[in-house]
Structure 1
Amino acid sequence: MTTLTVLKFNSEGGADNALSIIQGLAKQQLINLHDAAIVTWPTGKKKPKTKELHNLAGIGALGGAFWGMLFGLIFFVPFFGAALGAAVGALTGAMSDVGIDDDFIKSVREQVTEGTSALFLMTSNAVIDKVKEPLKQLDFELIAS
């Protein structure tokens, strides 16, 4: 089963560092990394930057449409106002089909703030003890899994 995991880092570069480790673990076949995206919120900026990793091959890769909708719901929709209410409702309904509900969106929105970063991972078949060990060195908070 594929899992969406969100890790929050208290630094702008934390998510990039963690992704490098996860990619190394994937090469060792200790985890299947289907897709990933990084959100970095630089200090002094009004909104975060997103980076989607389209270079990941495989049937499970979600592509930019999924990440774009997800990040739009989490970070940008509140700035658009009520005019998009119906569209937002439809998107939220579609995302809830894959386990992304209002609580998930609210939690990520509240925790990923200026000066932080987050790593969004779609993974499966992790060898938990082998994956946990190299990640222990990183200072992160699990937002969702």
Structure 2
Amino acid sequence: MATLTVWRFPTPTGADDALDTLMKLQRQELIKVQDGAVISWPEGARKPRTRHLGDMTGMGALGGAFWGFLLGMIFFVPLLGAAVGAAGGALGGHLAHLGIDDDFIKGVRKKVTPGTSALFVLSSDAVLDRVRSEFEGRHAELIETNLTGEEEARLREAFAEGE
């Protein structure tokens, strides 16, 4: 079963700094990183910068389509306003079917704001106490949603990229 986690940091560079720690934990086999994205939102910027980690994760990655869809729903759809409100609702319903509910989207949107950053990670097989201890002292806030095996399969099917 995969877990989608979002680590929020109180600085625009915190997620990039934490990425090194995450990759170290993966090399120690304390977590299996399947895919991820880094969000950096400098103070004064209208929108965040996003970066997909597919090149670091390899096999099992969902690909840019998933991250573009998810990050678009969180950060960019609210900027477009009522013109896409109905479409946004339909897309949000699709994400809920995939195990990512509206409360998760709203929670991330509310907490990842200008002057902050976030590390989005799709992972499995984490040794949670060791992973959490590595993030202590970074002032990271963990937002988490678990996906059932069925939801993970639907997510992979919906966002499968050509091989």
**Normalised by the shorter chain, which TM-score bucket?**
over 0.9
Aligned-pair CA distance for 1:89: 2.3
Aligned counterpart, 2:132: 132
1:36-115 alignment, distance < 5 Å: 36-55=36-55, 56-59=57-60, 61-115=61-115
Aligned-pair CA distance for 1:136: 1.4
Q: Which has the higher helix share?
A: 2
**Amino acid in the other structure paired with 1:125:** D
1:112-127 alignment, distance < 5 Å: 112-127=112-127
Q: CA RMSD for the aligned pairs?
A: 1.3
**TM-score, normalization by structure 2:** 0.83
Aligned-pair CA distance for 1:141: 0.8
Question: What is the CA–CA distance in structure 1 between the aligned matches of 2:128 and 2:102, rounded to whole Å?
Answer: 28
Question: What is the CA–CA distance in structure 2 between the aligned matches of 1:104 and 1:42, rounded to whole Å?
Answer: 22
Question: What is the CA–CA distance in structure 1 between the aligned matches of 2:117 and 2:127, rounded to whole Å?
Answer: 25
Aligned counterpart, 2:3: 3
- The runs of 5 or more residues in structure 1 that have no matched partner are none
Larger displacement relative to structure 2 (122-131 or 27-36): 122-131
Aligned length: 144
Question: What is the identity percentage for the equivalent residue pairs of Structure 1 and Structure 2?
Answer: 52
Aligned-pair CA distance for 1:132: 2.3
- The runs of 5 or more residues in structure 2 that have no matched partner are 146-163
